[in-house]
Amino acid sequence: MESNRKTSPLSILVVDDEVNIRKALSIGLEADGHQVIAVSNPGDARDEAERRAFDLAFVDLRLGTARGLDLIPELLAKSPWLRVVVITAYGSIETAVEAMKRGATDYLTKPFTPAQVKLVTERVAKLRALEQQVAGLEGSAAQAEQTVMLESAHPAMQRALSLARQVADSDANVLIRGESGTGKGVLAKAIHGWSGRSARPFGTVSCPSLSAQLLESELFGHVKGAFTSAVRDNPGRILTCSGGTLFLDEIGDLPLELQPKLLRFAQDKAFERVGETVTRQADVRIISATNVDLDAATKAGRFREDLLYRLKVVQIEVPPLRERAAADLILLAESILRTLRGTRGIVGFTDEALAILKSYTWPGNVRELRNAIEHAVIFCRSDRIDVEHLPTNLTPIQVPPQIGDDVSLAQVEELHIRRVLASSKSLDEAAKTLGIDVATLWRRRRKYGI
């Protein structure tokens, strides 16, 4: 029992035609905190594997007139991360070798003891947890930057962090509101890391970055042939995040036609992949983020009110950097510098450089601050970052480029996009002002680090 407390519970499928074996395995595994589905035949096993994701399967070699060996590759095709343990009363070297060739990871001979089952299960749980940690690893530098983003002496930001910690251990859906670049995604990942789901997957879907069809496929998955470019099955982010957290960035840009499907999943944890009718289930917590007023969007008919209520069980407001600057800017700047300087001998900023940083309005928020410091680190050849090392758009004596000036088109475009974003209430409004669609605006923001 102690080992299972250190790893997340597994979703386990038991396939055995003996009712006593199914009952014994189910009782023992559930007592250790695992979720168990037990069936007696290959057909039911296939149906269950279609509906939900499993981490581990105990499969009997003889299932009436069917062979458990034939079931192994079918289960693995539906859940590639699945571990299969073969159980049989007719153990031999030949059958063990054949089971391993077909994808099984272990082999138990009947009668087996609860201790043997526990040992196998704990080994799979530790391996699964390790795989998920590796899959979610983004590098020590990136994780250090996330910690930096969450440092604050500002009351509003401290309230946001306190609320995030309080809600982390629940399964409540969370809506994070704030301007672009304030660290909403960082806070979402922190909530996942503080929660009991931390050993399970964390996935991100950016709602403005894809067409409605591709976004539906990215969320719910698709089967081969569902549309022209569907050349292979795609499990979808919901299924691959089973047991963990799905972060929906800029949820306000979710196409209206997809909102009923997300609402259904948020309510019932049920969904279908594109191109099939099989209803699947997945235990996934939803954290959403937006920089638009979703209450206004519901009144305008662009966002479903019932979906909004489902997504904002808890709402967290992240203040913009310009409001935090007096309390947090030096703290953030010095912390970001520590994560970016590497082996360079840069120990800090000159007073003049700090004055520039403090006087700037930061329309791109913490993301823009990080980019500015990275720029300075690249060009700094001394032990302190000075005004000359900062991006030119930060200096107060800088005259903004005008049409016809000796500057690149990209510089003019970047400055114009920054100004429009700073004066717009939403991405939709900014995109309309710029005469481009939201997806194009999203790509421009990535290009310029806005």
Task: For residue 408, give the CATH number of its domain.
Answer: 1.10.10
**CA 126/CA 130 separation, integer angstroms:** 6
Which residue range forms the structural domain that includes residue 392? 142-153+321-398
> 80: cis peptide before it, omega within 30°?
no
Pairing outcome for strands 62-63 and 66-67: antiparallel
Q: Which residues contact 215 (CB under 8 A, 6 or more apart)?
A: 205, 207, 254, 255, 258
Phi-psi label, residue 397: left if phi above 0, alpha if psi -120 to 50, beta otherwise: alpha
Structurally, the chain folds into a number of domains equal to: 4
Contact criterion met (CB below 8 Å) for 175 and 290? yes
> Is residue 337 located within the same domain as residue 361?
yes
For the record, the structure tokens of 365 come out as 């928020």
| CATH for 361 | 1.10.8.60
Q: Which whole-number Å values give the CA distances from 417 to 292, 373, 377, in the listed order?
A: 17, 21, 25
The four Cα atoms 151, 153, 154, 157 give a dihedral, to 10 degrees, of 30
- CA-CA-CA-CA dihedral for 351, 374, 365, 412, to nearest 10: 100
- 120 and 257 co-located in one domain: no
- 177 and 239 assigned to the same domain: yes
CA distance 383 to 121: 54
Are 8 and 113 members of one domain?
yes
Domain end position, chosen among 265, 287, 317: 317
Regarding whether 272 and 162 lie in a shared domain, the answer is yes
Structure tokens at 153: 């002496």
What local confidence, expressed as pLDDT, does residue 399 receive? Answer: 52
- Could you tell me if 162 and 265 lie in one domain? yes
Distance CA 286, CA 123 (A): 29
| Residue 306 and residue 185 share a domain | yes
Q: Which two tokens stand for residue 13?
A: 């499928």
Count of alpha carbons within 13 angstroms of residue 314, beta-carbon side? 21
Based on the domain organization, do 129 and 147 belong to the same domain? no
**pLDDT value, residue 276:** 85
Distance of CA 408 to the CA centre of its chain: 37
Q: Are residues 343 and 233 in the same domain?
A: no
Same structural domain for residues 308 and 192?
yes
- Largest pairwise CA distance in the chain: 85
Residues 160 and 209 in one domain: yes
Question: Are 364 and 394 found together in one domain?
Answer: yes
Q: Which of 256, 283, 317 finishes a domain?
A: 317
Tell me the C-alpha to C-alpha distance, in Å, between residue 4 and each of 9, 32, 35, 232, 291.
7, 7, 12, 35, 40
Which pLDDT belongs to residue 420?
Answer: 83
Task: Identify the pLDDT of residue 305.
Answer: 96
pLDDT given at position 444: 86
- What is the mean pLDDT of each successive set of 10 residues along the chain, which is 450 residues long? 53 92 92 92 89 88 86 83 85 76 86 90 84 54 58 90 94 95 93 89 90 90 79 84 93 95 95 89 95 93 96 96 90 91 90 90 92 93 92 68 72 82 78 89 81
| Closest by CA position to 342, among listed 134, 139, 133 | 139
Structure tokens belonging to residue 49: 């594997």
CB atoms within 10 A of CB 60: 23
